[in-house]
Structure 1
Amino acid sequence: MSFRPGSRIFNAFRPFFRQQRNQSTAAPEQSGFQKLWNSPVGPKTVHFWAPIMKWSIVIAGASDLARPASQLSLNTNAALMTTGLIWTRWCFVIRPKNIFLATVNFFLFLTGATQTTRILMWQRSVKDAESQAQAEGKELKEELKDVAAKVEGKVENAAKS
């Protein structure tokens, strides 16, 4: 019983052994479209269609740039930013590496980071405006007390005379 390559017994177990490539029957060169179509991340796989669908989230986030920051959700945009960051890293760890998915996740991170920054800057400006208004309110309150005291003094003087 022989297990050398070429024997019938070896050929029976061939799926369990490493496949040998016959150099005489090389695959024909594929065109660019055929390479994309037959790629492990091509249009026949979820690795292609998931990023296509995820671009809609990026576009929706980018369209929110036209909305005022007061109408945006900090939690939602922070989650988009974090998700984009985590999945961008993950796209370089998984096999096959999916650069297309990494790209959409990176843009999701950028969109979320931009919106989160806008929201935080708006909240800070509102807080600053409130503290400024409170300080001005205290000044006005003191001025009104002074004016009220002067008026009371004049009224008392007028009553005495």
Structure 2
Amino acid sequence: MSSSRVGFRFFESSRAAFRAAFRRPGAQGRRFQSSDAASQQQSTFQRMWNSPVGVKTVHFWAPVMKWALVIAGISDFQRPAEKLSLTQNGALTATGAIWTRWCLIIKPKNYLLAAVNFFLGCVGVVQVTRIFNYRRSLDGSSQAAVKDMEQEVAGEAKAVAHEVSNAVKKST
């Protein structure tokens, strides 16, 4: 029993040494937080520049670039509903909903990315509603439109699954 205990102590001490080796000087165990004195001396621009979600990080530029998807979706409001893709707008809706939630869970919380994903989901919901209403108006019954949409989505999902399984088989 003593040998297992010595082994555990060895791994515990090596783990602590590993953490100490990669710790920033003066970090004091708090991640992404600077001291109050240093932050008071910095200007607003310097704080924004040095922030963990600041201008020099991907956490800033990813939402900025993703606004292009929102703008493209808004520009599609002018297109006729028969020319809109249900799967594309369904994917925008799902992406917006999933990633909005994820942006509020991760650390550091990225409110810029959460906002753009929220609006991306809203654009997707509006477009899917437009497609649904258009298809319902063609048949006069909502049940037929829903079944058509279900068959279309199921068929495309099966095609994607088949392509993925073929790609997996080729890679192995």
TM-score calculated relative to the size of structure 1? 0.64
Aligned to 2:54: 42
Cα RMSD of the aligned pairs, angstroms, is 2.4
Separation in 1, partners of 2:57, 2:114: 16
Q: 1:20 to 1:38 in 2, by over 3 A?
A: closer
Structure 1 unaligned runs (5+)?
1-12, 130-161
What amino acid is aligned across from residue 37 of structure 2 in structure 1? Answer: A
Separation in 1, partners of 2:37, 2:68: 41
Secondary structure class of the residue paired with 2:56: coil
Structure 2 unaligned runs (5+)?
1-16, 29-35, 142-172
Aligned to 2:37: 26
1:36 shift after superposition: 1.0
Q: 1:85 to 1:35 in 2, by over 3 A?
A: same
What amino acid is aligned across from residue 44 of structure 1 in structure 2? Answer: K
1:34 shift after superposition: 1.4
Q: 1:54-100: per-residue Cα shift (whole Å, max 9, x none)?
A: 00000000000000101100110011000000000000111100000
Aligned to 2:121: 109
2:66 matched to 1:71?
no
1:19 shift after superposition: 4.2
Separation in 2, partners of 1:96, 1:20: 16
Runs of 4+ in 1 over 4 A off after TM superposition: 17-21
TM-score calculated relative to the size of structure 2? 0.60
